[in-house]
Amino acid sequence: MTTLSPRRILLVDADAFFVAVARQEDPDGAGKAALLIVGGRPGSRGVVCSASYECRAYGVRSAMPISRALKLCPRATCVPVPRGACSARSKEIQQVLVTFAPVVQASSIDEWYCDMGGTEAMYGQESLEATAHRIRDAVFASTGLSVSIGGGTSRLVAKMAVELAKPKPGSRATGVRCVTPGHEIAFLAPFRLADLPMVGPRFSATLERMGLESIADAQRWSVTDLQSRLGERAGAWLHQRVRGIDDSVVTPREVQKQVSREETFGRDLHDDDILERELLRLAVRVSTDLRRQGLRARTVTVKLKDADFTTRSAQRTLAEPIESEKSVIKAARVLYRALRGKRRVGVRLLGIGLSHFDDDATASGSAVATQLGFFASTPTPAASDEPVENATDRALTRALDRIRDRYGSTAIIPARLIEGARESERDTGPRVEE
């Protein structure tokens, strides 16, 4: 009888990723600031995307308003998120990882799961920890960025281990922490139950009322006892997780669910003309993101956050998928006007999301080009205000992409954005793109 070898899963987590990239992009400014906050300029109404470890010592945390972060750490330097550079560095790190692991899955822009199963002979039967150090060194040599790596027999164990691998100031961590097969229960025992992925505040409160705060507490309960208190499904789930049992697999590609762009304005906006210009600006950016990923979308969502922090949204699913900025703005404008008609107050945040994708090989330029006619047929729209696209529309849109890629994103933009460019910052105040 053949015995299956324990799984070998790594989680690679880029250390303070946004901070590190911001320092690379601006070595004489952000690069020299020990106290660094990435997320927006001082005076903006954005939130902290990331902060240096030195800032975190003052209590600065991700998703905290920039204004509050600066009250906690007034000497900190604040910079916007270098989005383009972050995307490029993320791809560079993944390119290194695929040379080591047969299966790599991007969990986020700065996290990747690697299934190292079957690679033992490739690395001379060395330990998983030794291979992780090898990967860490290769990433730094290629990108100049540091990563921390957690490893174990499951994605869950790797996720918990990476938190102890991070070389934070004052810690003795080396950047790698791998859990030996058979030691999962002992490794997890000291953690709080609230530290487990998928254990949210409500579930954590329920467990606390049962007298369960640490994972060690829950490990002493039988599956029957947990099911009697939490229900059959939740009880069985928790019984497995506190023992490090997680059968989820590492897949080469996460299914993309949405492409979106949002902006938080420096002051509340009331003027519809200004707001619709900003909506157009977002449509250009989000449709470009869509095409770069080789996708077309059937659902368009517009999101507003009002001055009183009320968040409202409206969405529409189209009969045919779209990819051009012209189509996105046509659909988004209808949704925006419907939202504004229901509640006319100041707008703090505006966003557009695209979802329900149809993969399209031609969007990435890999398909054979087709001859376009002057009288290309256009599908009959389901409604008069619904955008439709034909082959000519898509070819023209991709031609614009090629020009922008070569000469810059502002080489060709809608005329309305050119007219408002000089007044934009005065109209909206300092904007924070999200």
Catalytic machinery residues: 111
DSSP labels, 322-349: E-SHHHHHHHHHHHHHHHHHH----EEE
* CA distance linking residue 105 with residue 98, whole number of Å: 10
* CA distance linking residue 41 with residue 326, whole number of Å: 31
Please give the angle made by the CA atoms of 25, 31 and 32, to the nearest 5 degrees: 155
* CA distance linking residue 95 with residue 143, whole number of Å: 10
DSSP 8-state assignment for residue 207: H
DSSP labels, 354-377: EEEEEE-GGGGT-SPP-PPPTT--
Other C-beta atoms lying within 10 Å of the C-beta of residue 63? 8
Query: Contact 248/158 with Cβ under 8 angstroms?
Result: no
* CA distance linking residue 53 with residue 34, whole number of Å: 9
* CA distance linking residue 275 with residue 339, whole number of Å: 12
Q: b or e along 334-368 (b: 16 or more beta carbons within 10 Å of the residue's beta carbon)?
A: bbbeebbeeeeeebbbbbbbbbebeebebbeeeee
Other C-beta atoms lying within 10 Å of the C-beta of residue 233? 9
CA distances from 340 to 264, 352, 354, 417 (A): 17, 15, 20, 21
Query: Contact 124/17 with Cβ under 8 angstroms?
Result: no
